[in-house]
Amino acid sequence: MRKKTIYLKALHLFALLLAGGFWAMPDDARALSVKANHDNIKVGFFYHGSTVKVSGAAGAGSGVVIKITAPEGHQVLRKKGKAAGVLWMNTGSLSFERVPDLYFIRSTAKPESILTPQELEANVIGYGALGRHMEIKPCADEQEKARWFSELVKYKENTRLFSPSGGITVADPSGKREFSTEINWPYQAPSGEYTVTAYEVRDGKVIARSQAKITVEHVGAVKLFADMAKKNAALYGLISLVVAVGAGFGVGMIFGKGGGAH
Amino acid sequence: MYLYLPVALTSINIFLPLGLGLLVGLLSGLFGVGGGFLMTPLLIMMGIPSTVAAATDSNQIVAASTSGTYAHWKVGNVDFKMGIYLLIGGFLGGLGGVQVIKVLRAMGNADFVIKMTYVLMLGIVGIYMFIESLASMKKKGGQEAAVQEKQEEKTSAIGAFLKSLPFQTRFEKSGVTHSALVPIVLGGFVGVLAAIMGVGGGFLMVPVMVYMLRMPMHVVVGTSLFQILFTCIEVTFLQAYTNHTVDFVLAVLLLIGSTVGAQVGTVFGRKLKADQLKILLAVIVLVVTVKIVFELTLTPSLLLSQAGGH
């Protein structure tokens, strides 16, 4: 009997905590949602990038930041420097840890103007936070790290895989804020799963988060060749050679018959 | 019209590789060079990762040199015997070159040595070929006999030494007699340098055949293509097997252009005189040298690049 009372009290306490937590959240935060209209991008032979519309709803008057990232990983890049003080050439390599393949930020206002530095840091929003979040080796000091991070940004922006800013369109029908943004999805983005995170922002703080996924996958002949190049490398190499030699002879014979070579 | 490349993981306008293939195939058929020194940097400029650009280029050269060798063979311009001796030397030299790179890397600053070797070899070969073919073109208008006599005198000491070597053999197609050791050693020398520089070595092999083996220019072009064909077959297979960097779709686009270009180049080549061919090749080699010197001295726009490329 006593045991049953303890269980009931615990259950009540849990229900109270749950209800308290729920009501402590602003009304609007519970309304946050995000989705991508094109969440399964198929990379076929004629693929040249795509357009992805990210949209959702947040509480009325809230700021919104959208971050799209690929899972973080490890990347080794060659660095150029001056050899003998005058000539530019490869002078070694740098190892980047916790670097996403793709990093896009879109927001209703500049993230730095609607979020506190602590929130930017905690949610890795903006190049400043991303730079501090990443590890770069070997680097003698913070100054050198900042220099190579800015070079990494240039390298990634060159292939359209990093895009630090862009606007979000908002509409405010009764009691909520609807938002949407169009992303020019770069063809350079490799296959894999990408995460779209929407942050609802109020008074400098993130009050809610919502996530959606975008999957990029190779299909058809692209998948066949990409898989064969890795899994059946010897056969792939032989086919490449047979086709090359065959094409060389074929064109030679066509020209020979047509009298082109004579 | 765009096509997605499954290994390069990028999308490309198909007319770019078709046009580039045509241009490089033309050079290949004209001069007997693989054209890697031109093709690889242009592919990188189009957004192809450097590792994929170099490997796919060698796949494309297989097609262009097959087409070119076939066209030259039909008109009797391939010295197979000489080509095989040069190949043996090139293969052994390539093995040696790989060891030299290992030593250089262990010592540090290998890239510096490689780049400087590249620039110096291109510069020396380009300037020498340019001056020699210019002088040769001029001499035809004037005192031909006197200059030729002087040149023969100059080469007689080397000629005597070469004649004294064992295993003398006649190369019918080229109309020359050499010790079998000469093409093997020269092929080996080119193989070492080509392995160090990471290139096929056509631009080195052509002058070696013209000036050291004294072969006629038109046979040089055909024989060089024959030798390049086998070198690139080996490189393509190794790149596909060990690095997975050959992009089959890109290679097909390039080879459609290059096989046709090689045929057209062969036709044009036969209409040009040997000296005209040499001076044109010299100009191209010198332009590439100047381009590399600029690359080495001007601040690059990007200081980071994908690991594994040239």
In the 8-state DSSP scheme, what is residue A106?
A: E
Residue of A49, A76, A244 with shortest CB distance to B251: A244
pLDDT score, position B198: 64
pLDDT at B309: 42
Do B66 and A247 make contact, defined as CB atoms within 8 angstroms? yes
The whole-angstrom distance between A153's CA and the closest CA on chain B is: 10
Structure confidence by residue, pLDDT tens digits, A38-75 = 789 999 999 999 999 999 999 988 999 999 999 999 99
Binary contact (B309, A80; C-beta < 8 A)? no
- pLDDT tens track for A164-191: 999 999 998 878 899 999 999 999 999 9
d(CA A221, CA B191) in angstroms, rounded, equals 37
Of all residues in chain B, the one with the smallest CA distance to A42 is B4
Grade residue A24 by pLDDT with cuts at 50, 70 and 90: very low
- Please give the pLDDT value at position B140: 67
Q: Which amino acid is at A65?
A: V
Helix axes B80-107, B110-139, angle to 10 degrees: 140
pLDDT at position A12 is: 52
Residue A261 has pLDDT above 90, yes or no: no
pLDDT of A8: 53
Show the CA angle centred on residue A11, arms to residues A5 and A13, nearest 5°: 105
Sequential pLDDT tens for chain B (310 residues):
899 999 999 999 999 999 999 998 888 888 877 777 778 888 888 888 878 888 898 898 899 889 889 988 988 889 999 999 999 998 888 888 777 777 777 776 667 777 787 788 888 888 988 988 888 888 766 554 454 545 555 556 777 777 788 888 898 888 888 888 888 998 888 888 777 766 667 778 888 888 888 889 889 989 988 988 888 888 888 888 888 889 999 999 999 998 889 889 888 888 888 888 888 888 988 988 898 888 888 988 889 887 754 3
In the prediction, which pLDDT does A3 show?
54
Q: How close B98 comes to chain A (CA, Å)?
A: 19
Residue-range domain boundaries for chain B: 2-297
Please report, for residues A86, A252, B72, the alpha-carbon distance to residue A249 in angstroms, rounded to integers and kept in the order given: 47, 5, 12
Contacts of A229 in chain B (CB under 8 A): 6-7, 240, 244, 246, 248
Look at residue A1 and give its three-state secondary structure.
coil
Residues forming a β-bridge with B13: B2
Mean pLDDT of A236-250: 93
Asked whether the beta carbons of residue A229 and residue B2 sit closer than 8 angstroms, the reply is: no
**What is d(CA B275, CA B264) in angstroms, rounded to the nearest whole number?**
19
**pLDDT of A19:** 42
Q: Which residues of B touch A218 (CB under 8 A)?
A: 6
Contacts of B250 in chain A (CB under 8 A): none
Q: What is the pLDDT of residues A184-201, one digit of tens each?
A: 999 999 999 999 999 999
Which residue of B295, B304, B305, B306 to mutate against A (max A Cβ within 10 Å)? Answer: B304
**How far does the CA of residue A43 sit from the closest CA of chain B (Å)?**
8
Q: What is the mean pLDDT of chain A?
A: 86
Is residue A28 helix, strand or coil?
Answer: helix
Q: Which residues in chain A have their CB less than 8 angstroms from residue B28's CB?
A: none
- What is the side-by-side order of every strand in the sheet holding A169-171? A33-36, A50-59, A176-185, A169-171
CA atoms of B251 and A188, how far apart (whole Å): 19
CB contacts of A251 in chain B (<8 Å) are: 67, 259-260, 262-263
For residue A47, give the chain B residue with the closest CA.
Answer: B4
Is 90 exceeded by the pLDDT of residue A153?
Answer: yes
Which residues of chain B have a CB within 8 Å of the CB of A83? 109, 111-112
Q: Which of B270, B281, B138 is nearest to B207 (CA)?
A: B281
What is the pLDDT, as a whole number, of residue B151? 52
B251 to chain A, minimum CA–CA distance in Å?
8
Is there a contact between A249 and B67 if contact means CB atoms under 8 Å apart? yes
Contacts of A49 in chain B (CB under 8 A): 11
Higher pLDDT among residues B173 and A205, named by residue: A205
DSSP chain B: -EEEETTTTEEEETHHHHHHHHHHHHHHHHH----HHHHHHHHHHTT--HHHHHHHHHHHHHHHHHHHHHHHHHTT---HHHHHHHHHHHHHHHHHHHHHHHHHHHHS-HHHHHHHHHHHHHHHHHHHHHHHHHHHHHHTTS-HHHHHHHHHHHHHHHHHHHHHSSSEEEETTTTEEEETHHHHHHHHHHHHHHHHHTS--HHHHHHIIIIIS---HHHHHHHHHHHHHHHHHHHHHHIIIII----HHHHHHHHHHHHHHHHHHHHHHHHS-HHHHHHHHHHHHHHHHHHHHHHHHSPPS-SEEETT--
Count CB-CB contacts under 10 A for residue A142: 10
B306 contacts A229? CB cut-off 8 A: no
| Residue A259: per-residue pLDDT | 37
Q: A–B: how many Cβ contacts below 8 A? A: 196
Distance to chain A for B210, nearest Cα, Å: 23
Distance from C-alpha of B304 to C-alpha of B54, rounded to nearest angstrom? 18
Unique residue bearing structure tokens 């064909």: B229
What is the pLDDT at residue A16? 43
Q: Per the CB < 8 Å rule, is A49 touching B11? A: yes
| Structure token digits, residue B8 | 């390069």
Confidence at residue A4, expressed as pLDDT on a 0 to 100 scale = 56
User: Which residue would you say has higher pLDDT here, B110 or A127?
Assistant: A127
Residues of A in Cβ contact (< 8 Å) with B11: 47-49, 187
Q: Which of A47, A88, A256 sits opposite B299 (nearest CB)?
A: A88
**A253: closest CA of chain B, how far (Å):** 8
Shortest Cα distance, chain A CAs vs residue B258, angstroms: 9
From B14's Cα to the closest Cα of chain A, the distance in A is: 10
Contact B9 A46 (CB under 8 A): no
Cα separation, B308 vs B231, whole angstroms = 20
Rounded Cα gap, residues A133 and A121, in angstroms:
8
**Would you list the DSSP string of A126-146?**
SHHHHHHHSEEES-SSHHHHH
